[in-house]
Amino acid sequence: MTDLKAEIMRLKKERNAIILAHNYQLDEVQEVADYVGDSFYLSKVAAEIDCEVIVFSGVRFMAETAKILSPEKIVLLPEIDAGCPLADMITDEDVRNIKNQHPGVPVVCYINSSTEVKAESDVCCTSSNAVKVISSLPGRKVIFVPDGHLGDYVAKQLPDKELILWAGCCVTHAKVKPEDVLKAKDKYPGAKVLIHPECSPSVVEQADFVGSTSEIIRYAEKSDAKVFIIGTEVGVLCNLRASQPDKQFFLLHPGLVCPNMKKTRLQSVYEALAKNQYEIQVDVDLAAGARRSLTRMLELAQ
């Protein structure tokens, strides 16, 4: 393990590479990363960082986003089949059909979407800035794809907006049921319940705090509370336990493990750097369309 880490450090230097890791990545991967965070933070880093190679330890849409925002760099996804079922729940053709049904209504796509869907949309958003992005759009109606759970959460925050939603969801967060929150509250009385907006509405409405992975981490860091129930992927919990050993963190549901995020191991990161795999390529025209949606998000949600 130590040798592998040393080799990764050597290759990083040799190739002028940086490693980005999502909060859901395994500890062993987060430990070698230069930047760890949520989807919004990592896309900002990818857009601004000065390097030749980005190793994106996450899932495909994240690596594609990095390539779109930094087309001159080599972007590597260490596990080629690390995908996102939510992103696969809608196609660009579906988006064109909704647009035809609602002419003139702006389309916001969650960053968990394909490059094609981003190119069909007016602006992109992440879980940390969805409310800000959608509230900044003119007019009452907004089409939001593909996460219906996040869309429901945003709609409740913005009663003046009328959101037209797509029924996609994160299959991992959707496992949590409202009774799981009741059980956890019974088991850990007084604990703060922190929940990701990809959970279903009946779960989200029982939260003390709703936010992105990094917002959940920051909330727990700043809170005076000592016990927390975490309603997002287990990677966040590992991170919290390491950084705040004086507090207690419990996972809301044992199924909160994203199999795609867990595909990337330390070995995969090493092989990515050593063998230049798997290099992400994005069609130039599609990338231009998707870049417009992503850049607009970066401008709106500074």
Nearer to ligand 13P, 87 or 184 (CB): 87
The beta strand positions in the chain, using DSSP E, are 17-22, 35-37, 53-57, 74-76, 107-110, 123-125, 141-145, 162-165, 192-195, 209-210, 227-231, 248-251
Q: Using CB under 6 A as the criterion, what x/- string covers residues 100-139 for binding ligand 13P?
A: ------------x-------------xxx-----------
Contact between 268 and ligand 13P (CB under 6 A)?
no
For ligand 13P, the closer CB: 40 or 166: 40
Please state the closest distance from residue 136 (CB atom) to ligand 13P, in A: 18
Strand order in 162-165's β-sheet?
Answer: 123-125, 107-110, 141-145, 162-165
Stretch that binds ligand 13P, among 3-11, 35-43, 95-103, 276-284 (CB under 6 A): 35-43
Please, which residue, 38 or 64, has the CB nearer to ligand 13P?
A: 38
CB of 274 to ligand 13P, least distance (A): 27
Per-residue b or e along 263-279, where b marks 16 or more CB atoms closer than 10 Å to that residue's CB: bbbbebbbbbbeeeebe
65 binds ligand 13P (CB under 6 A): no
| Residue choice 115, 212, 239, 264 for contact with ligand 13P (CB under 6 A) | 212
Note whether 293 binds ligand 13P by CB under 6 A.
no
3-state secondary structure of 245: coil
The nearer residue to ligand 13P, 126 or 268, going by C-beta atoms, is 126
User: How many of the other CB atoms lie within 10 Å of CB of 93?
Assistant: 10
Nearest one of 177, 205, 190 to 247, comparing CA atoms: 190
Q: Does 213 bind ligand 13P (CB under 6 A)?
A: yes
Bond preceding residue 146 cis, omega within 30 of 0: yes
In the complex, which residues of this chain contact ligand 13P (CB under 6 A)? 23, 38-40, 84, 112, 126-128, 198, 212-213
